[in-house]
Structure 1
């Protein structure tokens, strides 16, 4: 069991009222195939038994338990843990998720083999209220393109070089005290200085809770994400009106409820992004084109309407030529369109 001064990986788990799920999360790290790590657990003044559970592992020389003196929020807690990290790499981990046994080894191997990549993450499989798989853009240019719309990284599997924190002064923005956008904001700044490349492999099981418990979370997260998206558009350099910003934010997160926005407006805005990228070179043109074309498909697919044939509108616009949805999705789109127009 390694007890070196400088472990290869520092795993940081911020904790707030996660007592019900904390033991399985901790155990999933302690049982990793790669054992050259330290586990830093930071409790943010939990009101349940979280701190006691964390301290019950303190006899393990790999485990260090820290506790905030007062509740400071996720960003402060992440930064606090990072101050004590000694590893070459930092692995993020949520207090209610389960890391697969090979997670750390897989991510170490990837960054060791790709020295130009500063941060990576992986796919996640949900458990609890859902069993879907969250997939993320893979290449650095695909990540940069997707970043304009939403979080391009699975934060519970984020894995990065600790040197980023010192060489570029990167920290989580601790003025963001809720768990609403602090990860997206951090990743947006990381992407400005290093390449982010994701791995197409499930390395974590992500706990999902009943939607009734998450409705408020989603609303607050989207409000913060809207601010981050506006900032990213300014980094991109594209000029936009308030209406275009409204369109952009609306088509950036599920369920893409258009309200008074017309599909043609959406296509015009997405095509503007593609054309501007061609001039500016923010991301590889092919990667950006695929990103906006996929966004065009999803917007049309998720907004069936009797008055506007969204399938016909999708097909008649230029972006339809640059994205081929899975056969199953194509079939569902055809079926939804037919049912709306004939029943």
Structure 2
């Protein structure tokens, strides 16, 4: 069994996927990378297959049609063999030392099921801010918003399997990670955030609203579902937050979003 399996869903990422994959291989330990090409229409497949010739532990699977991130992650999880399972996106960059730090933490803290960390935010103009969350998120933090950065996470494999991986249903689109965190905590499988920056996270600095009304509605569903699982009455009130945000003007949303950023 491999020590780490990195699972990636890749869609139309020919301009960034090589950078992402190469950044993973700054880790020299026992690792495999499972990349699922999600029906890309550009040169993503060619880039991935050329990289797999250079990195034998990079396993590439191509889907004929676009099936969505959640499907790809469950597909990759099924194909993986790692004791630990890591997330990574095709437009982000894994920072040197990420997996060493995460493995050291989980090996030294058997009471935690997964760990994440902070991220440097960057776009075409360079790095401009960072984002981080509390070290020991409690349910009271989770009902207010997801306190984990999805592509920084490293899970114990048995924890993911215990909750059935990601829920591949239409109501979790763009909130599949939040849904997973709710279900892990309901199963008493808790996470920890290292206060190190583990990845460089691609996010344009003048980003308009990231979510449509549909994805905000999905987040409302995930919050309600997760609050019921965790028996949180307060969480059901917080569930209405994304519906309120859906009607905010783009300029006000950007200002609120920037409050989550920390200056370098």
TM range (shorter): 0.7 to 0.9
Is residue 7 of structure 1 aligned with residue 2 of structure 2? yes
TM-score norm. by structure 1 comes to 0.65
Q: Which has the higher helix share?
A: 1
Does the residue aligned with 1:88 lie in a helix, a strand or coil? strand
User: Residues 253 and 132 (structure 1 numbering): CA distance in 2 closer, same or farther, change over 3 Å?
Assistant: farther
2:79 matched residue in structure 1: 84
* Higher RCO by CA contacts (8 Å cutoff, separation 6 or greater): 2
* 2:46 counterpart (49, 52, 55): 52
| Alignment pair present for 1:136 and 2:133 | yes
Aligned match for 1:163, one of 148, 151, 158: 158
Q: Which residue does 1:115 correspond to in 2?
A: 110
- What SS does structure 2 have at the residue aligned with 1:42? strand
Aligned-residue CA RMSD in angstroms? 2.9
Asked if 2 retains the 8 angstrom alpha-carbon contact of 1:181 and 1:225, the reply is yes
| Structure 1 Cα separation of the partners of residues 76 and 206 of structure 2 | 30
3-state DSSP of counterpart to 2:75: helix
The correspondence of residues 298-309 of structure 1 with structure 2, limited to 5 A, is none
Aligned partner of 1:233 in structure 2 is: 227
Moved more, 184-193 or 169-178: 169-178
**Cα shift at 1:159:** 0.5
What is the distance in 1 between the residues matched to 2:32 and 2:199?
A: 19
Aligned to 1:105: 100
Question: Which structure shows the higher strand fraction?
Answer: 2
Deviation at 1:195? 1.4
146-155 or 93-102, which moves further after superposition? 146-155
Give TM-score, length-normalised by structure 2: 0.83
Pair 249,178 (structure 1): closer, same or farther in 2 beyond 3 Å: closer
Secondary structure of 1:132's counterpart equals strand
- Return the offset for 1:35: 2.3
Instruction: Give the distance between the partners of 1:147 and 1:248, measured in 2 at CA.
Output: 11
Q: Does 1:176 align with 2:167?
A: no
1:149 maps to 2:144 = yes
Q: Which runs of 5+ in 2 are unaligned?
A: 249-254, 257-264
Q: In the alignment, is the contact (CA less than 8 A) between 2:23 and 2:95 conserved in 1? A: yes
Structure 1: gaps (5+ residues): 1-5, 258-300, 303-343
> Which has the greater radius of gyration?
1
How far off is 1:217 after superposition? Answer: 3.0
Deviation at 1:62, TM superposition (A): 1.3
In structure 1, the residue matched to 2:59 is 64
